[in-house]
Amino acid sequence: MDFAFLSVVELGRLLREKKTSATELAAYFLERLERIGPRYNAVVTVTRERALAEAAQADREIRQGKWRGPLHGIPYGVKDLLATKGYPTTWGAQPYREQMIEADATVVEKLGAAGAVLVAKLAMVELAGGKGYTQANASFTGPGKTPWNPDYWSGGSSSGPGAAVAAGLVPFAIGSETSGSILTPAAYCGVTGLRPTYGLVSRHGAMALAWTMDKLGPMGRTIEDCAIVLGVIAGKDPKDPSSVARGFRMTTSRAAKFKIGVPKGADKDIQPEVAANFRQALQVLEDRVEVVEDVELPDLPYGAVAGMIIGAEGVSAFDDLLKDGRQAQLTAPEDRMGGYPALAISAADYLRALRVRRLMQRALDDFLKKFDMLAVPTRTTVASPIDKPFREAWPGFTGGANVIGPTNVVGVPGVSVPNGFGVQGLPTGLSFTTRAFDEGKLVTLGRLYQSRTDWHTRRPPTPSP
Amino acid sequence: MDAMSRRAFAEQLALTVAAPWFIEDLPKAPAPSPQPQQQEPSALAKSLAETVRLRYPDRFTAEDLITITRSIDTRLGQIERLYATALTNADEPDFVYSVYRGAD
């Protein structure tokens, strides 16, 4: 049976109906990871032994009638910044290539407790991009390639999760986002990505880039799959003091209409196909949304605050790497110099940024209250070619609205769902953002959109053998 | 096409210093004329870059130091906006310190 592009929901149904087994699914996806993964530089480590052991346990439990829930027996992968027992946790970076952390990250523990089967640790931009990479070749596994056209980037920093889901190597994956690292690869790889509210998912066992901005979240074929995964991984964790005592449950809200704000300039001076797909997507939802055009976010120094926080927290998080000089082993030449300028940030300026962010949180929440969601094209262009600096990839498209940056600074949630294709057969994404802990709204509208479109079911070209 | 405002451009450059990919949906700077980078870095930026060099005296080429100095200079340009946002003494940072007491 062709399992590669089935959703978690569909695979779960097959398992419950005993039309397949967890072991058969694990073996199927392990084979694909090993055979196809290298074409996209998507995989760091295939966790074969662990996967087969977890799958065998799942099969035993399912045979005994002990059903753990919708992820029981479902294979998945994690971005290689999540610690896992028995396998290296490389953070995508040469200096950590042999690093062993003999404990599972909380997210991995939770997925294990739900019966999911870990099949792979997936590629990522080195150190989640925190050193300032400016082109795609910024990982010891090589540039991530989108399965839609391997001459183009998969996006980052969750490059492996994006490409692996898109290529049917895993049904779902866990990525991380400090500022765009789930939504960007979701858009460039034509999959669905959900960035939860900061604190909704424990960061324990995840590489830190910026402690006050890092978020972990699911990437999958559908928003429904992402919601199922979020339901499992969300919640308070004593090992992560920033985690909050809230869970997530998918609801079946049937609000008559959603009020959608479209930020000023969102589809101006961006790639025409991206703009057209965005407008088409809003049209698909026309009867269920009230669109408010040209809304403007509060005028606050989002970039300055983000730059200060990521700079200061990032240089501290990797101070050992800087001190002992191993940073020189990083793949991207520009990453080898990253971090040094941040040594000049004063404590006073960092604290100023944190104080301004508190005002920013309130201002942005007051603004978001006026709408159910904001909608923008996830990225203003399709993916960049892997052999060009980002700045030179798509010159001339200087427009778009800055939403990913501000919403990441304050930690509110967002999703990206596939909404069509642009030049070179590359996918585009539609993004919704909302107030803290309103993921339910994102899921409701995302499900509605995916019930009316089939972009999320499209498959990338089959690679030649 | 609207020209990018100086403020927006400075905002973008600030993020570029932190990590260029974090720019995300900010308007893209026109590649050919990043004027702020062509200006002579400030004396403060040069001094701060020198502190970095002194910390790691054997690590940098002259070109590396120019890159570091420009990055610092760009960030300094952004600090003005941080301080332009009015705060009072009661506006605390957005973290809460918690005291710890272990098991007796």
What does the pLDDT average to over A203-214? 97
Domain range list for chain B:
6-84
Please tell me whether residue A157 adopts helix, strand or coil conformation: coil
Q: Which residues of A touch B48 (CB under 8 A)?
A: 344
A241 DSSP 8-state letter: T
Q: How confident is the model at residue A464 (pLDDT cuts 50, 70, 90)?
A: low
**Nearest C-alpha neighbor of A349 from the set B20, B48, B52, B55:** B48
- pLDDT tens for A170-196 read 999 999 999 999 999 999 999 999 999
pLDDT tens-digit map of A330-387 = 999 999 999 999 999 999 999 999 999 999 999 999 999 999 999 999 999 999 999 9
| DSSP state letter for A337 | H
CA distance B44 to chain A (A): 10
End-to-end CA distance of chain B: 68
**Quick one: average pLDDT of A138-162?**
98
- The CATH code for residues A8-297+363-457 is 3.90.1300.10
pLDDT in tens, B55-95: 999 999 999 999 999 999 999 998 989 999 999 999 999 98
Structural tokens at position A155: 């996006």
Q: Which of B1, B22, B48, B70 to mutate to test the interface with A (most CBs of A within 10 A)?
A: B22
Distances (CA, A) of A358 to A24, A135, A350, A353, B23: 50, 33, 13, 9, 21
pLDDT value, residue B18: 38
**Residue A340 is nearest to which of B68, B79, B98, comparing CB atoms?**
B68
**Catalytic-labelled residue, pool A7, A79, A110, A139:** A79
Q: How far is B81 from chain A (nearest CA, A)?
A: 6
**Side-chain half-sphere exposure of A135, counting CA atoms within 13 A:** 13
Which residues in chain A have Cβ-Cβ distances shorter than 8 Å to B88?
A: none
Amino acid identity for residue A27 in this structure:
A
- For residues B37 and A263, the model is more confident at A263
Structure-derived torsion over alpha carbons of residues A342, A127, A178, A416, reported in degrees to the nearest 10 = 140
Residues of A in contact with B28 (CB under 8 A): 380, 391, 397-398, 400
| Cβ–Cβ < 8 Å for A229, A218 | yes
Q: Looking at chain B from residue 28 to 57, which residues have their Cβ under 8 Å from any Cβ of chain A?
A: 28-31, 48-49, 51-52, 55-56
Map chain B to HEC letters: CCCCCHHHHHHHHHHHHHCHHHHCCCCCCCCCCCHHHHCCCCHHHHHHHHHHHHHCCCCCCHHHHHHHHHHHHHHHHHHHHHHHCCCCCCCCCCCCCCCCCCCC
A176 classed as catalytic? no
The DSSP element (H or E) to which A363 belongs, if any, is helix A347-368
Task: State phi, psi for A274 to the nearest 5 degrees.
Answer: -65, -45
Domain coordinates in residue numbering, chain A: 8-297+363-457
Angstrom CA distances, A227 to A32, A222, A224, B49, stand at 25, 9, 5, 47
Is A97 within 8 Å of A126 (Cβ atoms)? Answer: no
Mean pLDDT of A394-410: 94
Q: What is the overall mean pLDDT for chain A? A: 96
Q: Which of A157, A158, A179, A384 is catalytic?
A: A157
Confidence label for B14 from pLDDT (cuts 50, 70 and 90) = very low
Contact A308 B78 (CB under 8 A): yes
What angle, rounded to 10 degrees, do the helices at A223-233 and A8-16 form?
70
Q: Which of A336-345, A388-397, B22-31 has the lowest mean pLDDT?
A: B22-31
Model confidence, pTM: 0.93
pLDDT of residue B37 exceeding 80, the answer is no
Grade residue B17 by pLDDT with cuts at 50, 70 and 90: very low
Determine, for residues A404 and B82 on separate chains, whether the beta-carbon distance falls below 8 Å. no
Cα–Cα distance between B17 and B27 in angstroms, integer?
15
The stretch A33-61 carries a mean pLDDT of 98
